[in-house]
Amino acid sequence: MAIVPPLVALRNARLKKAEALRERGLNPYPSRSMRTEYAANILENFESMENQPVTVAGRLMSWRKQGGMAFGHIQDRTGSIQLVFRRAMLHPTDAAAGFLGYEDVALLDVGDVIEVRGTVGKTMKGEISVMAETLRMLTKSLRPLPEKWSGLKDRETILRKRYLDTIAAPEKLELFAQVSRMIFEARQFLYARGFLEFQTPIIQPLYGGGTAKPFLTHVNALGAEMYLAISHELYLKRLIAAGYEKVFTIGRYFRNEGIDRSHHPEFSMIETMTAYQNYEYNMALVEDLFRHVAVKAFGKITFQVRGHMVDFEQPWKRISMVDATREITGIDFSELRTVDEANARLTDLGVTEAQPSIGEALVRAFEAKVEDTLIQPTLVYGHPIEISPLAKPMAEDPRYVERFEIFIAGMECGDNWSEQNDPEQLFATWKKAYKPEDRDSGEFHPLDYDFLEAMDHGIPPTTGIGPGIERMAMIFTEQQDIYDVIFFPMMKPVLSQANKAIYGVAGEAVEEPAES
RNA sequence: GGGCGCGUAGCUCAAUUGGCAGAGCAAGUGACUCUUAAUCACUAGGUUGUAGGUUCGAUUCCUACCGCGCUCACCA
């Protein structure tokens, strides 16, 4: 005997109301609405709209019936507005016209999507309302909404069913809308500067362009193992080889690694390639991009991030990784000559894992001691060549490369470099970095001979930026958790007992291993 | 992956040392023509995440598992 969760009874009660509507000749799910006005527009322009006929539509969020009169609020994407119903004023149930009359308002539930035609007016208490003349059911809702006063508080439910959170807390709609406008403005900025946007493959025969553990997948039609992209830059460089000079993609990235407040397995980046320029061009481009987005999408230039006021107006600090590390730790890694010496200094800083090179020791020291201190937008350049196989070495000191990372509020917000376009050097560095036994371990990506072949043909001096969309969104929307700027964050799949009962998921009990 | 914490009705939360699992909202029935967390009366709603164990008795104590969070490690 299956257990029937109480939710099923609530749902069945609403299903009965849907059936009752059909018995009256009313479709609980008609095709379209005749809405003429949004809630906010009526509230903002009451003076000119008073006594005017309007048709509004939205989700019924509250319902207060008292005899021959009833009040409710509907919520649309602009806000909410009160509806006033009177028994004598409301058109009776009319199957031909699709109207729901006052005699049948018991078939309404909070959560239903309804449409009301009426005139704009004020109640005796002074609230701007629509005085209803006709009522249409647009969508019968079958499940109860979160509690109207406290909303949705359970973190897991918020993340799994974000739509419930945005219904209960409409200001969240604005947050995610801001993220959308942010991406729009970033596109506008790049289009205005002459960049062309390309689609690059998400399913790739090899993964490359970064160091990360990939997701593996299988393409049935080709009988081939493939990977989800960890980066798109090897394809952008092929576009430069093809003859384009300014390209970008807003790509999806998949990295099979840890999850925390600033890492999500699936994320997005604006990745550009600009020919005939080097990384200094990109320093200016990135600063301008962030300023443009801040002003155009958010209308301000300073943001509260992790308890700090971050100012995007002032010229950003530019400092080499060696200098930044020396300022904080007092250690000048550029003067060290042996790996043992570098590791000894690293141990002094409390980092005990021995690094294979001076350059990698510098990076560890930087990550451990310096990153968190970079609050205002800072461009840290001159990365060790050991961790930058795709970047061009600096002419004045080939231990370091023409590369910079963006740090804001202690968080890395983008990686940028002058592309290594010397095919022989690229191959040599790559070969040295890649160890076949580390395949798919995240140590380094495999050799991509097709890419090397394209580089053999020669690309102009080229440079690219890669600011992360989610981290930009976190900063500009002043959120501290990447899960709060991703509408559909990654969660383990679950199936509730209620849904098993409602949808008749068969075999759930049968699939349990039999006790024997 | 390690450590710590959390999981009670659709939602938000209670439950004294281990002693009858409760409330508000939502739901059902009825009353109510200016409410807005409407009000009033009545009704219903629970395998306390899952599975075991200890006990006369478990929401409570123990073990394992599932999910989520925090944190460390790894990474970007």
Question: pLDDT per residue over A293-314, tens digit each?
Answer: 999 999 999 999 888 899 999 8
Q: Tally Cβ neighbours within 10 Å of residue A84.
A: 20
**C1’ B60 / CA A391, Å:** 61
**C1’ B60 / CA A5, Å:** 24
Which nucleotide in the DNA or RNA is closest to residue A494, CA to C1'?
A: B67
Max Cα–Cα distance, chain A, nearest Å = 92
The residues of chain A scoring below 70 in pLDDT are: 1-3, 435-444, 506-516
CB A283 within 8 A of CB A319: no
d(CA A50, CA A83): 14
Give, in order, the Cα–Cα distances in Å from A193 to each of A196, A248, A369, A415, A497.
Answer: 9, 11, 37, 20, 54
DSSP string, A439-477: TTTTS-PPP-HHHHHHHHT---SEEEEEEBHHHHHHHHT
Angle CA A324–A261–A417, to nearest 5: 40
Which nucleotide in the DNA or RNA is closest to residue A480, CA to C1'?
A: B70
d(CA A224, CA A221): 8
CB A316 within 8 A of CB A287: yes
Q: Write down the pLDDT at residue A497.
A: 84
Q: Quick check: helix, strand or coil at residue A24?
A: coil
CB A328 within 8 A of CB A369: yes
d(CA A303, CA A476): 7
CB A409 within 8 A of CB A302: no
Burial tier of A513 (Cβ tally within 10 Å: 0-12, 13-18, 19+)? exposed
Only one residue has tokens 């009177």, namely: A86
d(CA A450, CA A462): 19
Q: Quick check: helix, strand or coil at residue A274?
A: strand
d(CA A219, CA A238): 23
Only one residue has tokens 């999507």, namely: A113
- The length of chain A is 516
Strand partners, A228: A203
**C1’ B22 / CA A197, Å:** 60
Which nucleotide in the DNA or RNA is closest to residue A10, CA to C1'?
A: B27
Task: Judge whether residue A261 contacts strand B, using its CB and a 7 Å cut-off.
Answer: yes
Domain locations in chain A as residue ranges: 6-139, 152-313+401-511
**C1’ B44 / CA A11, Å:** 14
CB A226 within 8 A of CB A200: no
Task: Judge whether residue A499 contacts strand B, using its CB and a 7 Å cut-off.
Answer: no
Encoded tokens for A251: 């790509």
CATH homologous superfamily, domain A6-139: Nucleic acid-binding proteins (2.40.50.140)
Task: Judge whether residue A423 contacts strand B, using its CB and a 7 Å cut-off.
Answer: no
Q: Write down the pLDDT at residue A443.
A: 66
CB A54 within 8 A of CB A119: yes
d(CA A15, CA A256): 43
State residue A206 phi and psi, 5-degree precision. Answer: -135, 155
Encoded tokens for A290: 């962030």
Task: Judge whether residue A255 contacts strand B, using its CB and a 7 Å cut-off.
Answer: yes
Q: Quick check: helix, strand or coil at residue A347?
A: helix
At A304, the amino acid letter reads Q
d(CA A164, CA A146): 7
Which nucleotide in the DNA or RNA is closest to residue A158, CA to C1'?
A: B68
Which nucleotide in the DNA or RNA is closest to residue A257, CA to C1'?
A: B75
Which nucleotide in the DNA or RNA is closest to residue A2, CA to C1'?
A: B47
Q: Kind of pairing, strands A462-467 and A246-254?
A: unpaired
d(CA A246, CA A464): 10
- ipTM, two decimals, is 0.92
**C1’ B48 / CA A469, Å:** 42
d(CA A10, CA A479): 36
Is CATH 3.30.930.10 what the domain over A152-313+401-511 is classified as, yes or no? yes
Q: Write down the pLDDT at residue A3.
A: 56
d(CA A283, CA A391): 15
Per-residue exposure over A6-43, b if at least 16 CB sit within 10 Å of its own CB, e if not: ebbeebeebeebbeebeeeebebeeeebebebbbebbb
Handedness of CA A89, A90, A92, A94 (dihedral sign): positive
Q: Which nucleotides of B are covered by protein (CB under 7 A)?
A: 1, 9-13, 24-39, 44-47, 66-76
d(CA A446, CA A194): 33
Radius of gyration of chain A (CA): 30
Chain A residues 308-337, Cβ below 7 A from strand B: none
**C1’ B39 / CA A66, Å:** 9
**C1’ B31 / CA A15, Å:** 26
Chain A residues 87-106, Cβ below 7 A from strand B: 87-88, 106
Task: Judge whether residue A192 contacts strand B, using its CB and a 7 Å cut-off.
Answer: no
Task: Sheet with A216-219: list strands edge to edge.
Answer: A203-204, A224-228, A216-219
